[in-house]
Amino acid sequence: KQNYRIAVLPGDGIGPEVMAEAIKVLDAVQQKFGFTLDYQQYDVGGIAIDNHGEPLPPATLAGCEASDAILFGSVGGPKWEGLPPEKQPERGALLPLRGHFDLFCNLRPAKIHPGLESLAPLRADIAAAGFDVLCVRELTGGIYFGKPKGREGEGEDETGFDTMKYSRKEVRRIAHIAFQAARGRGGVVTSVDKANVLATSILWREVVEEVAKDYPDVTLNHLYIDNATMQMLRYPAQFDVLLCGNLFGDILSDEAAMITGSMGLLPSASLNADDFGLYEPAGGSAPDIAGQGIANPVAQILSAAMLLRFSLKQEAAANAIDTAVSKALSEGYLTGELLPAEKRDQAKSTSQMGDFIAQAVLES
Ligand code: NAD
Ligand code: IPM
Ligand code: MN
């Protein structure tokens, strides 16, 4: 197939700023590799609330359904935080999209780019040992989706409650993904849970052990979430594939992003069993820097590369983007949040980053 339809959902905050750069890079890819991408843009999140009165308008969902893949920016911000939870951008659009398309498999690859160890916030000897992990996060279950969820009672007796729940089959399918991924990488899966306290985690551990029997060539370790967060800082080089439930994966992936230098470097793919996917930066709408043209577009650009790789099977084009991003970073072409304060005057803007990476794709 040579013509693809991409649903483009920029969303809120820095979403539209970094999306513009990803589209620039995808335009370069089209020129270079000869296939065509038909972008169809839709409102989602806060902007959709403002324009259509709801965070996930029917036209947006229909547009996603009619596409080969979804390229998503980020949603949410202070403007919509006062709304009832189900009407907010995150609970009303992003989670329903993940649920609707059964995007249970969230892949978040984080690595310290070789030569860029000094950008990482860790001590030099720790960063020098390297860091290259794939966070495999279950995305459509756990405490995010478990029922009942809500509020009950009154006054000081009022309660808020969420339900953390996993079925064997939900754990099994994400565990298989982690073991298969480990085979193509360092051969080690670290499953993260809280099996010393939580019933969900005890089941999780049992099922992961069962699945491990199909992969005798892969080493399986278990860590409790609290230990895992500290081990990530103590010696991150020990990890290869991190297998996590929805909530622990959310937390650990932000930590993984920051170990590489910035939230703005971490892309993600959210896939279903048919490799249909939604591709988005792991970070959010960054209201603190939105509108200034300084956000790092790399996570959005690398998410576009994942879209080409997983949903469109355009591996060469995906690799060209990865290489172009590496070129920018290794040549010191960086946005400000990656730089120490005394070097901020050398920072590149969001659009300078996109221009450089698009150009590098064309010249590859
Ligand atoms: P955030 O990820 O938006 O920001 C955390 C910190 O990282 C901020 O200091 C921000 O400036 C920085 N950062 C994030 N992306 C960056 C980039 N590309 N370049 C440079 N710096 C970057 O998290 P938050 O502040 O907790 O959340 C803000 C809003 O985004 C909330 O409404 C939240 O719910 C939402 N959110 C949305 C998504 C999503 O749509 N996928 C993901 C996470 C958070
Ligand atoms: C992420 C985000 C989302 C999550 C929020 C915005 C619902 O933090 O993609 O990591 O918690 O999954
Ligand atoms: Mn998150």
Tokens of 15: 């979403």
Was 137 annotated as part of a binding site?
Answer: yes
pLDDT at position 213: 98
Average pLDDT for 120-142:
96
Closest CA to 133 of 260, 218, 234: 260
CB-based contacts of 46, cutoff 8 Å, min separation 6? 11, 12, 55, 75, 76, 77, 79, 80, 89
Residue type, 264: G
Closest CA to 265 of 342, 208, 322: 322
Å from CA of 215 to ligand 2 middle: 30
Residue 263 in contact with ligand 1 by CB distance below 6 A: yes
Per CATH, the homologous superfamily of domain 1-106+266-364 is Isopropylmalate Dehydrogenase (3.40.718.10)
Residue 261 in contact with ligand 1 by CB distance below 6 A: no
Pick among 3.40.718.10, 3.10.20.30, 1.10.260.40, 3.40.1260.10: CATH of 121-259: 3.40.718.10
Which residue ranges have their beta carbon within 6 Å of ligand 2? 76, 90, 94, 250, 282, 284
Residue 295 in contact with ligand 1 by CB distance below 6 A: yes
Ligand 2, atom 7, lies closest to the CA of 90
What is the DSSP secondary-structure string of 194-242? -TTT-HHHHHHHHHHHHHHTT-TTSEEEEEEHHHHHHHHHH-GGG-SEE
1 pLDDT higher than 80: no
Provide the CB-side half-sphere exposure for 243 (13 A, CA).
30
- State how far the Cα of 27 lies from the Cα of 354, in Å rounded to an integer: 11
Q: Angle at the Cα of 101 (from 103 to 269), degrees rounded to 5? A: 35
Average pLDDT for 265-271:
98
Q: Angle at the Cα of 343 (from 337 to 346), degrees rounded to 5? A: 85
Please state the domain extents for the chain.
1-106+266-364, 121-259
State the ipTM, two decimals.
0.99
Per DSSP, 161 falls in state: E
Report CA-CA distances (Å) from 200 to 171, 204, 276. Answer: 10, 6, 28
- State how far the Cα of 64 lies from the Cα of 9, in Å rounded to an integer: 9
Any idea which residues carry the catalytic annotation? 144, 194, 226, 250, 254
Å from CA of 259 to ligand 2 middle: 18
pLDDT at position 115: 80
Compute the mean pLDDT over every residue in the chain, rounded to the nearest whole number: 97
**Which of 94, 244, 270 should be mutated for ligand 2, with most atoms under 8 A from CB?**
94
pLDDT at position 132: 98
Average pLDDT for 273-279:
97
Å from CA of 274 to ligand 2 middle: 22
**β-pairing verdict for 241-244 and 132-138:** parallel
- Percentage of the residues of the chain whose pLDDT score is greater than 70: 100
Burial of 197 (0-12, 13-18, 19+ CB in 10 A): exposed
Å from CA of 55 to ligand 1 middle: 18
CA 305 to chain centre: 13
Q: Mind listing the pLDDT tens digit for each residue in 4-38?
A: 999 999 999 999 999 999 999 999 999 999 999 99
> What is the reported pTM?
0.98
Residue type, 156: E
Q: Mind listing the pLDDT tens digit for each residue in 98-129?
A: 999 999 999 999 999 888 899 899 999 999 99
CB-based contacts of 219, cutoff 8 Å, min separation 6? 187, 188, 189
Q: Could you check whether 1-106+266-364 and 121-259 share the same CATH topology?
A: yes
Provide the CB-side half-sphere exposure for 346 (13 A, CA).
10
Residue in the block written with tokens 């916030």: 121
- State how far the Cα of 299 lies from the Cα of 297, in Å rounded to an integer: 6
